[in-house]
A and B are shown apart, each in its own frame.
Chain A
Amino acid sequence: MRELVTSAGLLVDFSDFLGAVERQPMSEADLVRDAQRGDAAAFEELYRLHVSKIYGLCLRMCANPAKAEDLTQEAFIRAWQKLGSFRRQSSFRTWLHRLTVNLVLGDLRSTGRWESRLTAIDSLPERGDGGAGAKPETTFDLERAISQLPPQARMVFVLHDIEGYKHREIASLCNLAVGTSKAHLHRARKQLREVLKR
């Protein structure tokens, strides 16, 4: 049994305390609090809760599975390093999403892909002929079509139409004018509709 004497003269039995903690299912707020204190096991639980959404976000934003894995890994490492600055003014999910979006944007900018030119629609692969209209094929076609969008249009489409961000938030995150964000979304939707009509 581990004990310490508090200033009030009370004995604290940590074995009982830790046992009680382990028996309780922990809320996300508890996990964040423990992770902020250096508990890697709590942070692993946060990772398990959010990894698929963060990887999905990275994959759709950068359209490269290997790169998406690297960015997901980097996002969680940065989250661990910056946990101390998380003040619970937003949810952990929102905080982690913003951190990830900034990370992917920084990567796209540093590698020069952010400014790359519009992918020619004619260069996209043809849609498969079987099962048009069925959900799995439709989903697959849409994912593929999204991956072929130019980076800025893809980013705005993913953030607005899949992740639910508003233009004002996207403009702030991506350092764009609201009008530019709207223009990218318009271009992305137009290109997607044309590809999916084939």
Chain B
Amino acid sequence: MNCEQVREQMDDYLGGYLDEASQQAVEHHAAACASCRADMKDLKNLLAQARQLSPGVSPDQDLWPAILGQIEESRAKSWSNANRSWMALAAVLALAVLLIPLLLRQQAPEPGERVKAAATDSMAIDAATQAKVDLARSEDRVLLVRRDLVEAIEIRRDLLGPEASQSVEESLLVLDKAVADIQQALEENPDDRRLRLLLAAKYQHEVRLLQRVSRV
């Protein structure tokens, strides 16, 4: 390796980009060449100075007030849209509460039919076990999402305004009532697979709704 080649590779050498053979070739040449050695020392000095530069430099003024102003402005716009979403959500939930008892009556089989189905369907036990597992997972997920939502609502309460806050709280209570209705029906028919699936589906639906609300 000659001086020109070494100088071409010096940046890569100091940056650790060379393979071992090339690295050794550069070192071998530099050990025997005073000019390249001086060049390398010079470059190392520059890199040492660059490393000593403070990574942080404080601006002359606090930029936060201006940043916050822009954040508040954009948030005011999005909350204006969000309030409409809360209202729409509350309407959907109110409708759900009206429909759930009707659905329960349609879904719950007659006791005689249930006994007949259990006796004739050998897969029912496995399916019921799976439904219980799905139900437990769904319930855990609902509780986690609910906790996150409640924290988010608390943080945003001042920005939401009283009307939207009340709407959200009412929505949560509506959800609780809907779930409680299905749970009560399930207590009366504990082996009913279709009721369990309905409840699991309800939980999943609830999670999707809550996630949508959390993203607003």
A and B bound? yes
B23-31, B47-55, B105-113, B188-196 - interface stretch: B47-55
State the majority secondary structure of interface residues on B: helix
Q: Does the CB pair B71–A51 fall under 8 Å?
A: no
**Contacts A7-B176, A193-B42; A69 near B50 (Cβ below 8 A):** no
A70-78, A104-112, A114-122, A147-155 - interface stretch: A70-78
The range of chain B's interface size is: 35 or more
In the A-B complex, the 5 residue pairs with the closest CB atoms:
A52-B56, A56-B57, A161-B50, A37-B152, A55-B59
Against A, the Cβ 8 Å flags (1 = close, 0 = not) of B51-73 are 11111111111011011101110
Is residue A169 within 8 Å, beta carbon to beta carbon, of the partner chain?
Answer: no
Task: Output the nearest chain A residue to B11 by Cβ-Cβ distance.
Answer: A186
Q: For the complex, give the distance between the alpha carbons of A48 and B74 in Å.
A: 21
Is residue A177 within 8 Å, beta carbon to beta carbon, of the partner chain?
Answer: no
Using CB atoms and an 8 Å cutoff, list the residues of chain A in contact with chain B: 2, 4-8, 12, 14, 17-18, 34, 37-40, 43-44, 47-48, 51-53, 55-56, 59, 65, 68-69, 72-73, 76-77, 80-81, 84, 135, 138-139, 142-143, 157, 160-163, 167, 182, 185-186, 189, 192-193, 196
Across-interface contacts of B67 in A (CB, < 8 A): 47, 73, 76-77, 80
Residue from the list B43, B58, B154 in contact with A51, Cβ < 8 A: B58
Is residue B132 within 8 Å, beta carbon to beta carbon, of the partner chain?
Answer: no
State the majority secondary structure of interface residues on A: helix
Q: Does the CB pair A138–B49 fall under 8 Å?
A: yes
